[in-house]
Structures are given as C-alpha cells and as structure tokens.
Amino acid sequence: MKTTLVTLLAAVLCVEQAYPFMCYVCQEEESNKNCLTISMCAEEEKYCVTLHNYVGTKPNKPKYVISKMCSPTCPVRSQQQNQTYQRVYCCEKPLCNVNGASSKHSGYGVMSLGVLTTLAYIYAC
C-alpha cells in the first residue's frame, strides 16, 4: 500500500501538463487590480513573469508600474538603470503571478515541503 502511494505521488509530480499554461497579463498598470486578465501562453512559454518598475520621477515618490506576461525564459532578476529600478518575479505554475510576489525559488521550497510531509505521513501510518 505504501509503495503504491509513493509511486502514485511520484507519477503525479513528474507528469507534464496536459492543459494549456496560463498567466495573468497586463502592460504598465499602476495597480495590481488592473492586472487580472488571463491569457493562454504559447507552448514554449513555461514561465509567468511579473515586472515591477519604479521610475524615479521624484526622489521620495517614485512612479510604480506593473506588467505581467508569459515568457519562455525567466528574465534577468532585478536591474537598476539611471532613475529606473526593475524587479522581476518568475514562477512556473498556471496563474501563479496573481500578486507578483512569488518566485521560482520559493515555489521549489513549498513543493519540497509538501513532498516531505506526504512521505512522512505515508511512512508514519
């Protein structure tokens, strides 16, 4: 029984998606509430990306805009150029860029914790 559950868990984690990959998309919006449009990504686009741009128009009040999109790669992380600062967030789950704060690395940690908890439960019972 335990072997069957472990095998089933491994199969579920290793199966490639059979459904379309989707992300939230928007272009240079001033609020996340305007970035809730869902788009189907192209087959090669495996990442949902959120870009937070801070433009230094005033020293104490930078202008903030957010863009979301599908992408085949995770772009270079945070960049600073002149008075503009860009923060990049990437994730690999459908619709994972809803708030733009998740990242590829935190997703691996959560998934690992879930797998370890499941295995501990299986072997404890």
pLDDT digits (tens, 9 = 90+) for 41-50: 999 999 999 9
Total domains, the chain: 1
Looking at every residue in the chain, the average pLDDT score rounds to 75
- Residue 29 sits in which domain range? 20-100
117 within a domain of the structure (yes/no): no
CATH code of the domain in which 94 resides: 2.10.60.10
- Contact call for residues 53 and 27 (beta carbons, < 8 A): no
More confident residue, 30 or 8: 30
Residue 44 lies in a domain: yes
Domain membership of residue 123 (yes or no) is: no
Residue 54 lies in a domain: yes
105 lies in a domain? no
The answer to which of 48-57, 71-80, 96-105 has the lowest mean pLDDT is 96-105
Average pLDDT over residues 103-107: 44
**40 touches 20 (CB < 8 A):** yes
Q: How far apart are CA 85 and CA 68, in angstroms?
A: 16
Q: Is the pLDDT at 120 greater than 70, yes or no?
A: no
Distances, alpha carbon 21 to alpha carbons 12, 14, 24, 76, 81, in Å: 17, 16, 11, 22, 32
Q: How many CB atoms lie within 10 A of CB 119?
A: 14
Query: Region 68-75: what's the mean pLDDT?
Result: 94
Per-residue pLDDT at 55: 78
Classify residue 68 as exposed, middle or buried by CB count within 10 Å of its CB (0-12, 13-18, 19+): buried
In the prediction, which pLDDT does 66 show?
A: 95
Confidence of residue 83 (pLDDT cuts 50, 70, 90): low
Residue 80 carries which side chain, given as an amino acid letter?
A: Q
Evaluate if residue 78 carries a pLDDT over 80.
no
